[in-house]
Chains A and B, each alone.
Chain A
Amino acid sequence: MKRYLRPLGILSGAAASQAVAAGLALPLAGGSLAFSLIEIIERITPGDVRSQIVPAQDVAGELAPHIGSRPLSGPTVMGIVNATPDSFSDGGAYFDPASAIGHAKAMIKAGAGIVDVGGESTRPGAAAVPVDEEIRRVVPVIAGIRAAAQAAGVTISVDTRNARTMQAALDAGATMINDVSALTHDPAALAVAARSQARVVLMHMQGEPATMQQAPSYDDVVLDVYDQLEACIAAAQAAGIALERVVIDPGIGFGKTVEHNLALLSHLSLFHRLGVPLLIGVSRKGFIARLSGGEPTDKRLGGSLAAGLAAIGQGAQIIRVHDVPETIQALRLATAIRDS
């Protein structure tokens, strides 16, 4: 039997601080939110999951990880910089870093706290890219934005599964590694990450990008993803990566059905118990279109903002997005209303 605790009854703004002061709620994950209730979820055996909702005070002794401070207090917007050839214009034969650099600089200007540079698409069905080609794509982009990022206090992240690309990106100025395989794809990745001082994003994925959407299956998706991320954090720590450097991402859309994605997004507050910042990527993902009208990727901004704000509302510290200015506008409005 394993026990999981999910903060509910989430309050914000003045109500949150008043409820905390009155002993009716506890602060959530080092941010300005607070929670008043806890859903106690118990997995007795696989397939036998029970839950009950109690006042948070009833289990206050167990709640330290939900309350504690996170080094990355959010919300922070991570802008996605694709250092991949534009398949529409030139058939993918040649990659020009100039447009990616321009795109990244615009994100920095718009207020992104992190820019995430990736040279290999991990979309469902995407083929792997040779490591040398991946390095050729990401390194000039990172080098080209290094000064602008430093001046603005923006973190450069590299989105890769390959240890050699990680090392090349770190050498070029990246200080964060975002690996969809949680440092398992390349046996040398853990050691590269451990030797560096970089932050590391450990993401949950079932299967491999090429085949992950064929038949995703879980006993209980929320608890299974939680358990696996907990193990990945422990594995990273055992390899010498301090907990303070770790960020987790439940991997929306990576080996998950629409129902799996919705279950995870509605239970995000549970993941704060793992004691590290929570990164959520929902931007333009397929489940938005499947829940709406089948829109193509460039027509999913509304759903991306709605899902991103819902994640922030559960205390997620980082949201990874394509549309940085629009996301920042939405966040400013949501925060202003919340804190008024």
Chain B
Amino acid sequence: MALSFIALGSNVAGRFASSADAVEAAVPAIQCREIIILSRSRLYRSAAWPDPADPEFVNAMISVETSLAPDALLASLHAVEAEFGRERRQVNAPRTLDLDIVDYAGRISAPGDSPILPHPRLADRAFVLLPLAEIAPDWRHPVTGKAIGDLIRALPDPRAAVRL
């Protein structure tokens, strides 16, 4: 069994009342797929990127335990995204649900592997680091070994994500 961290994000309500509801609904949808949820952060909000004129994102982080390999885990997460009405047409397009594997048991993927582990841009993102720190205060970046507190202090704007 591998301990992994998965980032959840939504900036389109879709069939839900709000993006926050979509993120809340994603947690059981993930667990129904043999992915055991160990803990979850509270909800955060952050500006859309790269175009802040797009609707704001609601973000959260979960820690999970799974016997699925990283590619199978990602396939399951993509199936949940599809269930929530997101088609992977455009990078960074508004979406009802976006799920990313941030860290899979500290694994560092080989060049060309998919998914890329750990998530390549996790260290620049307040909406990843803040909820991650909430559920894994002792977490360290698998590649640099940096503590999560130090990564947060190095953010240009740690207020880029705030508790909802």
Interface residue count on the B side (C-beta < 8 Å): 20
Contact A231 B31 (CB under 8 A): yes
Q: Which residues of A contact B29 (CB under 8 A)?
A: 231, 235, 238
Contact B33 A184 (CB under 8 A): yes
- A278 within 8 Å of B (CB atoms): no
- Given the interface pairs A217-B67, A240-B15, the reply to whether A235 lies near B82 with Cβ below 8 Å is no
Contact A235 B25 (CB under 8 A): yes
- Residue-wise interface mask of A (24-44) relative to B, using a CB-CB cutoff of 8 A (1 in contact, 0 not): 000000000000000000000
Most B CB within 10 A of own CB, among A184, A217, A224 = A184
**Interface residue from B15, B25, B27, B82 paired with A187 (Cβ < 8 Å):** B82
Q: Which residues of B contact A57 (CB under 8 A)?
A: none
- Given the interface pairs A235-B25, A235-B28, the reply to whether A228 lies near B34 with Cβ below 8 Å is yes
Q: Which residues of A contact B36 (CB under 8 A)?
A: 224, 227
Contact B28 A187 (CB under 8 A): no
Contact A190 B31 (CB under 8 A): no
Contact A228 B31 (CB under 8 A): yes
Residue of B nearest to A206 (CB): B34
Contact B79 A187 (CB under 8 A): yes
- B160 within 8 Å of A (CB atoms): no
- B83 within 8 Å of A (CB atoms): yes
Interface residue count on the A side (C-beta < 8 Å): 22
- B154 within 8 Å of A (CB atoms): no
B contacts, CB < 8 Å to A: 15-16, 24-25, 27-34, 36-37, 65, 67, 79-80, 82-83
5 nearest A-B residue pairs (beta carbon): A231-B31, A238-B25, A234-B28, A187-B82, A232-B32
A contacts, CB < 8 Å to B: 46, 182, 184, 187-188, 190-191, 206-207, 217, 224, 227-228, 230-235, 238-240
CB-defined A-B contacts under 8 Å, sample of 26: A184-B32, A184-B79, A187-B79, A188-B82, A190-B83, A191-B83, A206-B34, A207-B34, A228-B32, A228-B34, A230-B28, A231-B28, A231-B29, A231-B30, A232-B32, A233-B28, A234-B25, A234-B28, A235-B25, A235-B28, A235-B29, A235-B31, A238-B16, A238-B24, A238-B28, A239-B83
A217-B67, A235-B25 given; name 4 further pairs at CB < 8 Å: A184-B32, A184-B33, A238-B16, A238-B28
